[in-house]
Amino acid sequence: MSPTAPPARRLLHAPPVAASPFPYHPGSLLSASDLSLEGVSHILARATALENQDPLVRDRILAKRRVALLFYESSTRTRTSFELAAKGLGADTTLVSSLSSSIEKGETLKDTGLTLRALGAETIILRHNSSGAAWLLEAETRLPVLNAGDGMHEHPTQALLDLRTILAHLRPGVEAVTSETLAGVTVSIVGDILHSRVARSNMLLLPRLGARVLLCGPKELLPELAAQAGPGIAIERDFEAALRQSQAVMMLRIQAERLAGLQLDLDEYKANYQLTGLRLAAHAPAAIVMHPGPIIRGLEVTAGVADGPQSVILEQVRNGVAIRMAVVERALLATEPGGRA
């Protein structure tokens, strides 16, 4: 023991963490936190403008530009809406999925990305089962990369379309968002938070507009440290208490494919966290009910709630096309004035 060592902790200067080089391309959308609020406003405004535009005029915007969809996981909503969005702007799209390509033969993500670039792809929309895959693809190709879901990490276009849905109901007419836009609004995200990229992107985006995010779920699916993921995030284990505070309720599926051996008692889960008509009527009769899909009817939500008057689930799907038109346009034209966050 050094005789000069004070008993208390020394003040030590440690090496700093270098600033992130991402995104390399201003048209990329890797994380919900890549966007400034000005950038978010611009995407929302472009989504509305493009949605309202004559399709025959709109399809000249990206006429013959090349958009690649690279999907390592199955998808209905995200893939179709990105494809419809790109085609709606006149772009040529090509779909590469892990089951019908050289990925099956062992080609790496880097090589697949470089191959798509050599084939003329100007942007790549990536869905991947590994967290961080979109960052790897962008670093290796330096193309604008749109993250359409990476493992358990992020799904930024989902957060944007969720925001558009929330605004339409709670702040109708608002498109230019500020840090106050959702002041006083509580959004509950309920269920399998641990494995959810939708939850993480919404947790990053909504609090920046002033919303409070309540996370709700059992310990196995919602670790305590989730509350440290950012400001404006809190944990409420009691589902009904969360409902009573919420203007929007986002229900999540249990991601069976990511449980990694975790055993859950589904009856107990339903007893505590299933959104039923009775619970909704008793505790959140005015809230909108959201779900990123796919829904497992009878597990996290009852059929009655999914199809009921408070459900905006299909509206979310429709908003997906508009938001993704704006995001694909931004990738190829980099029209956003605000730049990076």
Partner 1 sequence: MTALVIRGGHLIDPAAGVDALKDVLLKDGRVAEIAGPGKLKQANGAEALDATGLTVAPGLIDMHVHLREPGQGYKETIATGTAAAAAGGFTAVAAMPNTLPVNDSPEITRWMQAPERGAVIRVFPIAAATRGSKGEAINDFAALKSAGAVAVTDDGQPILKDNIMRETLAAAARVGLTVIQHAEDTRLTQFAGGGASMNLGPVSFKLGLRGMPPEAESGMVERDIRLVTELRDARAHLHVAHTSTAAALAAVRQARRSGLRVTCEVAPHHFLLTEEHVGLYNTNAKMNPPLRSAADRDAMIEAILDGVVDAIATDHAPHAVHEKEVEFENAPNGITGLETALGLCLRWLHKEWKMPLGRVLSLLSAQPAALLSLKGRGTLTVGSFADVVVFDPKAEWTYNAREGRSKSRNTPFDGWTMQGKVRWTISEGRVAYNAEE
Site for partner 1 contains 14 (CB under 8 A):
yes
Minimum distance, C-beta of residue 100 to partner 1, in the bound complex (Å): 20
Q: Of 61, 124, 152, 243, which lies in the binding site for partner 1, with binding defined by CB under 8 A?
A: 152
Residue closer to partner 1 by CB (options 60, 110) is: 110
Site for partner 1 contains 12 (CB under 8 A):
yes
Residue closer to partner 1 by CB (options 112, 247) is: 112
Instruction: Please state the length of the chain.
Output: 341
Distances (CA, A) of 211 to 185, 190, 240: 5, 16, 19
Q: Of 3, 105, 106, 228, which lies in the binding site for partner 1, with binding defined by CB under 8 A?
A: 228
Site for partner 1 contains 10 (CB under 8 A):
yes
Minimum distance, C-beta of residue 66 to partner 1, in the bound complex (Å): 24
Please say whether the beta carbons of 235 and 223 come within 8 A: no
Residue closer to partner 1 by CB (options 95, 229) is: 229
Site for partner 1 contains 107 (CB under 8 A):
no
Which residue's structure tokens are 């989730």? 226
Site for partner 1 contains 192 (CB under 8 A):
no
Q: Of 84, 168, 229, 299, which lies in the binding site for partner 1, with binding defined by CB under 8 A?
A: 229
Minimum distance, C-beta of residue 121 to partner 1, in the bound complex (Å): 19
Residue closer to partner 1 by CB (options 176, 256) is: 256
Compute how many residues bind partner 1; rule: CB under 8 A. Answer: 40
Minimum distance, C-beta of residue 35 to partner 1, in the bound complex (Å): 16
SS in 3 state form for the chain?
A: CCCCCCCCCCCCCCCCCCCCCCCCCCCCECCHHHECHHHHHHHHHHHHHHHHCCHHHHCCCCCCCEEEEEECCCCCHHHHHHHHHHHHCCCEEEEEECCCCHHHHCCCHHHHHHHHHHCCCCEEEEEECCCCHHHHHHHHHCCCEEEEEECCCECHHHHHHHHHHHHHHHCCCCCCCCCCCCCCCEEEEECCCCCCHHHHHHHHHHHHHCCEEEEECCCCCCCHHHHHHCCCEEECCCHHHHHHHCCEEEECCCCHHHCCCCCCCHHHHHHHHCECHHHHHHHCCCCEEECCCCCCECCCECHHHHCCCCECHHHHHHHHHHHHHHHHHHHHHCCCCCCEC
Write each residue from 246 to 285 as x if it is in contact with partner 1 (CB under 8 A), else as -, in one continuous string: --------------xx------------------------
Residue closer to partner 1 by CB (options 88, 144) is: 144
Restricting to residues 119-148, which ones interact with partner 1 according to CB under 8 A?
128, 130-133, 135-136, 140
Site for partner 1 contains 18 (CB under 8 A):
yes
Residues near partner 1 (CB under 8 A): 1-2, 5, 9-10, 12-15, 17-18, 20, 22, 108-110, 128, 130-133, 135-136, 140, 150-154, 194, 197, 200, 223, 225-226, 228-230, 260-261
